[in-house]
Structure 1
């Protein structure tokens, strides 16, 4: 019988990390890698499944905060390192881990990045945010005019010290963005071999530093190079525009790659619209409403007549029930539902990536009053996270 335990010491953490890496067909952490990885383990947030004394499955979360529509920040669990030993798959191990983790989380919402997109819907996670994967041809990428501010390059030690402060000062702009916990920054600081060719630049405007961009350049044949944007944050339009000018005007760089929100206006920077192509649209945010009443009350809503939504949650049955959503907020009620939705698809709608009408058209949900529900949950900007974990 599978037993779920909270891990408490370094030896257990290392076994946890080894099992997770092997589940992704990687090798165990080396003695050199382990001191870099250890700070990313937080007390009471690493769980493992055991068959007797054998560890057979893993999951973990990090304490963070998430921006919801309307701008509020709510406590958030960033779920990661989910894995099951290859000889224990399809035996209920992952279900036991997910049930225990979600039942014991102190946070009302969780998100994760899915290695396989079919896994997490059955545990109540919904695809709540996607990104556009862009490629820019710098020969065509003409942006009229010059910079309004200044861009300066940082050495690694200065970047390690400044970026956490600047990220917090810039703030979180869009639904789906999350705060970065100390362990996240510690791991970034210590991954020197992996980021040897990584460059960080900071933008300064009239009021001081207001944006940064980290990128890596890789060589191709005939002195051609490709630049991949790794981290990009900005506080205002001038910083955003100037940093795009910087990366598209670098000498010996022929192509720039970046992930952006679905509605990011970067295409309109260029005089030639063919300078930019969308190579792919990929899932990024998988969101799980752990406490449905709290999360429905945490966000704001648009102007429309109230709608009663019936939620079904098999894994966390306390969430199941009917909720009246209006421009004034949300509350649990005992009323006839206008539409019925499983908790994973409520999560998909929650940040504004998809609408109830689209889900109904795909025969994923049933109900009436779809136009009102869409108007209530509408957002001015598409969600994006921008932080990998």
Structure 2
């Protein structure tokens, strides 16, 4: 019988990391790698499934915060390191882990990055935000005009100290963005892993530092060079534009790749917008509303007549109920429902990336007053996270 335990010491944490990495077909952490990884383990947030004394499954959360439509910031759990040992899959281990983790979650909302698209819907996660992978032909890319500020290159030690402070100062700009915890920044300092060969530049405007960019350049066949943007953060449009100018004007770069929000206007920067090619669009944010009444009350709504949603949540039945949503907010009510929706699809519409009408067209939800619901949940910007975990 599977037993779920909360892990408490370093030896258990390392076994947890080893099992997870093997579940995704990666090597166990070396001593050097483990020294970098250990700070990312937080007491009280590490769960494992056991069969007797054998660890057979893992999951973990990181304490963070999340911005919702309207600009409010709420406590948030970033879910990661979800894995089941290969000889224990399809035996209910993951279901037991997810149920226990969600029941004990200290935050009203969680997000994750899904390795497989069919897994997490049954645990109440919905695709709430997507990103666009773009490739830019650097040899023919021209952004007219000069920079309005200054871009300077900084060394790794300076970046280790400055970037966390600058990220906090820039703040969370659009729905879906999350704060970064100390363990996340510790992984970014891994000189033999994620941070190897990274270059960081910082943008300064009239009020001081207001953006940064981290990137790597790799050599491909025929001595072509590809620049991969790893992190791009900015407080205003001038910093965003100047950092793109810096990237495009680098010598010995043939192609530039980056992940941007669906509504990012990057192609409009260029004299020829066709130098920007969209290679893919894929899911980024999987959202789980752990406390539905709190999360419905946290965000703001558009102008439309009130709609009553009936929410169903198989894993967290306390969320079951009917909620009136209006421009004034959301509240639990005893009234007839206009729309019936499971909690995973409520997560999908929460940031406005998906609409109620789209879900109804695919027969995923039932109800009326769809146009009003769409207007209530509409947002001026598409959601994005921008922080991989």
TM-score higher than 0.5: yes
- Counterpart in the other structure of 1:206: 206
Give the distance between the partners of 1:167 and 1:116, measured in 2 at CA. Answer: 30
- Counterpart in the other structure of 1:343: 343
- Counterpart in the other structure of 1:332: 332
Deviation (angstroms), 1:43 = 0.5
Give the distance between the partners of 2:110 and 2:56, measured in 1 at CA. Answer: 23
8 A contact 1:312–1:319 mirrored in 2:
yes
Q: Secondary structure at the match of 2:231?
A: strand
Give the distance between the partners of 1:115 and 1:222, measured in 2 at CA. Answer: 33
8 A contact 1:352–1:379 mirrored in 2:
yes
- Counterpart in the other structure of 2:158: 158
Give the distance between the partners of 2:339 and 2:119, measured in 1 at CA. Answer: 26
Q: Secondary structure at the match of 1:147?
A: coil
C-alpha change, 1:287 and 1:191, in structure 2 (3 Å) is: farther
Deviation (angstroms), 1:139 = 2.2
Give the distance between the partners of 2:197 and 2:40, measured in 1 at CA. Answer: 23
8 A contact 1:62–1:77 mirrored in 2:
yes
- Counterpart in the other structure of 2:123: 123
Deviations 1:58-116 (A, max 9, x none): 00000000000000000000000000011111110000000000000110000000011
Q: Does 1:99 align with 2:99?
A: yes
- Counterpart in the other structure of 1:137: 137
Of residues 286-295 and 137-146 in structure 1, the stretch that sits farther from structure 2 once superposed is 137-146
Deviation (angstroms), 1:196 = 2.3
Deviations 1:197-224 (A, max 9, x none): 1100000011000000000000124442
Deviation (angstroms), 1:363 = 1.0
Of residues 131-140 and 192-201 in structure 1, the stretch that sits farther from structure 2 once superposed is 192-201
Deviation (angstroms), 1:362 = 1.1
Please tell me the root mean square deviation across aligned C-alpha atoms, in Å. 0.8
Give the distance between the partners of 1:152 and 1:127, measured in 2 at CA. Answer: 37
8 A contact 1:223–1:252 mirrored in 2:
no
Q: Secondary structure at the match of 2:358?
A: helix
TM-score by length of 1: 0.99
C-alpha change, 1:57 and 1:179, in structure 2 (3 Å) is: same
Deviation (angstroms), 1:255 = 0.6
8 A contact 1:137–1:254 mirrored in 2:
yes
Deviations 1:150-209 (A, max 9, x none): 000010000000000000001110100000011111121134444321100000011000
Give the distance between the partners of 2:347 and 2:121, measured in 1 at CA. Answer: 10
- Counterpart in the other structure of 2:293: 293
Q: Does 1:264 align with 2:268?
A: no
8 A contact 1:284–1:385 mirrored in 2:
yes
Structure 1 segment 205-354 matched on structure 2, within 5 A: 205-354=205-354
Deviation (angstroms), 1:263 = 0.2
Q: Secondary structure at the match of 2:232?
A: strand
Deviation (angstroms), 1:30 = 1.1
- Counterpart in the other structure of 1:22: 22
Deviations 1:319-346 (A, max 9, x none): 0110000000000011100001000000
- Counterpart in the other structure of 2:65: 65
Q: Secondary structure at the match of 1:348?
A: helix
Give the distance between the partners of 1:253 and 1:296, measured in 2 at CA. Answer: 46
Q: Does 1:363 align with 2:351?
A: no
8 A contact 1:36–1:191 mirrored in 2:
no
Deviation (angstroms), 1:373 = 0.3
Q: Does 1:372 align with 2:381?
A: no
Deviation (angstroms), 1:39 = 0.6
Give the distance between the partners of 2:366 and 2:307, measured in 1 at CA. Answer: 14
Structure 1 segment 25-44 matched on structure 2, within 5 A: 25-44=25-44
8 A contact 1:140–1:274 mirrored in 2:
no
- Structure 2, gaps ≥5 residues long: none
Give the distance between the partners of 1:385 and 1:259, measured in 2 at CA. Answer: 11
